[in-house]
Amino acid sequence: MELYKHVKKQHGDAILLCRVGDFYEAFFEDAELIARLLEIALTARSHKNQKNPPPPMAGIPHHALDSYLYKLVKAGHKVAILEQTEDAKLARDENRLVKRDVVRIVTPGTVTDPKVLEHKVNNYIVSIYFNKDTYGVAVADLSTGEFLVTELTDPSRLWAEIHRFSPKECLFADSFEDEEMFERLKTEFKATLNDLPDWRFEVDTARTELLEHFQTISLDGFGCEHLPAAISAAGALIYYLNETQKQEVEHIISLHTYTLSDFMVLDADTQRNLELTASIRDGSTKGTLLEVLDQTVTAMGGRKMRQCLLQPLLDEKEIEERLGAVDELKTQINLQEELRDALGQMYDIERLISRISLGSVNGRDLHALKDSLRLIPDVKAQLQNCSSVLLVSLNDTLDPLPDLIALIEHGIHPNPPATIREGGVINDGYSEELDELRQIVGQGKDWIVAMQEEERKRSGIQSLKIGFNQVFGYYIDVTNPNLNMVPEHYIRKQTLRNSERFITPELKEQEAKVLNAEDRIGTLEYELFCQIREDVSKYTEVIQKIAAALAMTDVLANFAYIASKYNYVKPTVAAVDEIVIRDGRHPVVEQLFTQEGFVPNDTILNCDDEQLHIITGPNMSGKSTYLRQTALIVLMAQIGCFVPASAAKIGLVDRIFTRVGASDNLVMGQSTFLVEMNETANILNNATRNSLVIFDEVGRGTSTFDGLSIAWAVSEYLLDEKRMGAKTLFATHYHELVELASKYKRAKNYNVAVHEDGQKVTFLRKVVPGGADQSYGIHVARLAGLPQVVITRAQQILEVLEQHNLSVEADGATGQPPKAHPTMPKPRRRVSRKTLQSDSLQLALFTPKTHPLVEEIRRLELTQVTPLDAVNILYDLKAKAEESEG
* 632 band by pLDDT with thresholds 50, 70 and 90: very high
Q: What is the mean pLDDT of residues 836-860?
A: 58
Contacts by residues 478-485 (CB-CB < 8 Å, ≥ 24 positions apart) = 478/502, 485/459, 485/460, 485/461
pLDDT over 70 at 849, yes or no? no
Percent of the chain with pLDDT over 70: 89
Residues 6+ apart with CB under 8 A from 123: 109, 111, 117, 141, 142, 143, 168
pLDDT over 80 at 72, yes or no? yes
pLDDT over 50 at 741, yes or no? yes
Q: Which strands form 100-106's sheet, in the order they lie side by side?
A: 43-44, 56-61, 23-27, 14-20, 78-84, 100-106
Q: What is the DSSP letter of 821?
A: P
Element (H, E) at 65: helix 65-74
Q: What is the DSSP letter of 142?
A: T
- CA 508 vs CA 416, 466, 725, 815: distances in Å: 31, 12, 94, 111
Using the Cα atoms of residue 307, residue 309, residue 310 and residue 313 in order, give the sign of their dihedral. positive
Q: What is the mean pLDDT of residues 108-137?
A: 93
pLDDT of residue 758: 62
pLDDT of residue 277: 94
* 1 band by pLDDT with thresholds 50, 70 and 90: confident
> How many Å apart are CA 810 and CA 814, to the nearest integer?
8
Mean pLDDT, the chain, integer:
87
**Phi and psi torsions of 644, nearest 5°:** -80, 90
pLDDT of residue 735: 80
Determine the 3-state secondary structure of 72 from DSSP. Answer: helix
* 681 band by pLDDT with thresholds 50, 70 and 90: confident
pLDDT of residue 803: 65
> How many Å apart are CA 103 and CA 245, to the nearest integer?
7
Q: Where are the beta strands (DSSP E) in 51-191?
A: 56-61, 78-84, 100-106, 125-131, 134-141, 146-152, 169-173
Burial of 635 (0-12, 13-18, 19+ CB in 10 A): buried
Using the Cα atoms of residue 305, residue 306, residue 307 and residue 311 in order, give the sign of their dihedral. positive
pLDDT of residue 814: 38
The pLDDT tens digits for 14-31 are 999 998 888 899 999 999
Provide the β-strand partners of residue 534: none
Q: Write the single-letter amino acid at 189.
A: F
Residues 6+ apart with CB under 8 A from 320: 573
468/788: higher pLDDT: 468
In the chain, % helix, strand, coil (3-state, to 5) comes to 45, 20, 35
Maximal CA-CA distance, the chain:
155
**Phi and psi torsions of 362, nearest 5°:** -120, -175
256-257 vs 473-479, strand pairing mode: unpaired
pLDDT of residue 771: 76
Q: What is the mean pLDDT of residues 809-826?
A: 44
* Among the ranges given (70-74, 171-175, 804-808), the one the predictor scored with the smallest mean pLDDT: 804-808
Contact (CB, 8 A) for 248 and 213: yes
> How many Å apart are CA 328 and CA 387, to the nearest integer?
8
Contact (CB, 8 A) for 339 and 394: no
> How many Å apart are CA 631 and CA 645, to the nearest integer?
13
Among 34-43, 346-355, 611-620, 874-883, the range with the most confident prediction by mean pLDDT is: 346-355
pLDDT over 60 at 333, yes or no? yes
pLDDT over 90 at 527, yes or no? yes
Using the Cα atoms of residue 861, residue 864, residue 867 and residue 868 in order, give the sign of their dihedral. negative
Domain 432-533 in this protein, CATH class? mainly alpha
Around Cβ 434, how many Cβ atoms within 10 Å?
20
pLDDT over 80 at 51, yes or no? no
pLDDT of residue 466: 92
Is domain 2-106 annotated with CATH 1.20.1420.30? no
Provide the β-strand partners of residue 195: 172
Using the Cα atoms of residue 68, residue 304, residue 343 and residue 409 in order, give the sign of their dihedral. negative
Residues 6+ apart with CB under 8 A from 3: 97, 100
pLDDT of residue 721: 77
Tell me the CATH number of domain 296-401+539-566, given options 1.10.1420.10, 3.90.1150.30, 3.80.30.20, 3.30.9.10: 1.10.1420.10
pLDDT of residue 761: 63
Among 90-99, 520-529, 560-569, the range with the most confident prediction by mean pLDDT is: 560-569
829/339: higher pLDDT: 339
45/209: higher pLDDT: 209
Domain residue extents for the chain: 2-106, 125-262, 296-401+539-566, 432-533, 572-785, 852-885
- Of residues 742, 733, 814, the one with CA closest to residue 772: 733
* 592 band by pLDDT with thresholds 50, 70 and 90: confident
> How many Å apart are CA 718 and CA 712, to the nearest integer?
10
**Phi and psi torsions of 227, nearest 5°:** -120, 80
pLDDT of residue 754: 75
* Among the ranges given (86-90, 95-99, 523-527, 578-582), the one the predictor scored with the smallest mean pLDDT: 86-90
Q: What is the mean pLDDT of residues 668-690?
A: 80
Q: What is the mean pLDDT of residues 574-596?
A: 88
510/148: higher pLDDT: 148
Same fold, 296-401+539-566 and 432-533: yes
- Of residues 674, 714, 709, the one with CA closest to residue 695: 714
> How many Å apart are CA 472 and CA 478, to the nearest integer?
15
Q: What is the DSSP letter of 185?
A: H
Q: Where are the alpha helices (DSSP H) in 720-787?
A: 740-743, 777-784
pLDDT of residue 520: 87
Homologous superfamily (CATH) of 125-262 is MutS, connector domain (3.30.420.110)
- Of residues 363, 311, 26, the one with CA closest to residue 150: 311
- CA 125 vs CA 241, 428, 477, 597: distances in Å: 10, 42, 60, 43
pLDDT over 80 at 90, yes or no? no
Residues 6+ apart with CB under 8 A from 480: 498, 499, 500
Percent of the chain with pLDDT over 90: 55
770/802: higher pLDDT: 770
pLDDT of residue 614: 92
> How many Å apart are CA 158 and CA 167, to the nearest integer?
13
Residues 572-785, CATH architecture: 3-Layer(aba) Sandwich (3.40)
pLDDT of residue 828: 45
> How many Å apart are CA 266 and CA 294, to the nearest integer?
19
Among 460-469, 551-560, 622-631, 754-763, the range with the most confident prediction by mean pLDDT is: 551-560
* Among the ranges given (33-47, 533-547, 848-862), the one the predictor scored with the smallest mean pLDDT: 848-862
Contact (CB, 8 A) for 352 and 368: yes
Among 95-109, 374-388, 434-448, 755-769, the range with the most confident prediction by mean pLDDT is: 374-388
Burial of 134 (0-12, 13-18, 19+ CB in 10 A): middle
Q: What is the mean pLDDT of residues 298-321?
A: 96
Expressed in angstroms, the distance from the first to the final Cα of the chain is 93
pLDDT over 50 at 810, yes or no? no
Contact (CB, 8 A) for 591 and 567: no
> How many Å apart are CA 749 and CA 772, to the nearest integer?
9
Query: CA gyration radius for the chain?
Result: 38
Q: What is the mean pLDDT of residues 628-647?
A: 97
Burial of 39 (0-12, 13-18, 19+ CB in 10 A): exposed
> How many Å apart are CA 525 and CA 438, to the nearest integer?
11
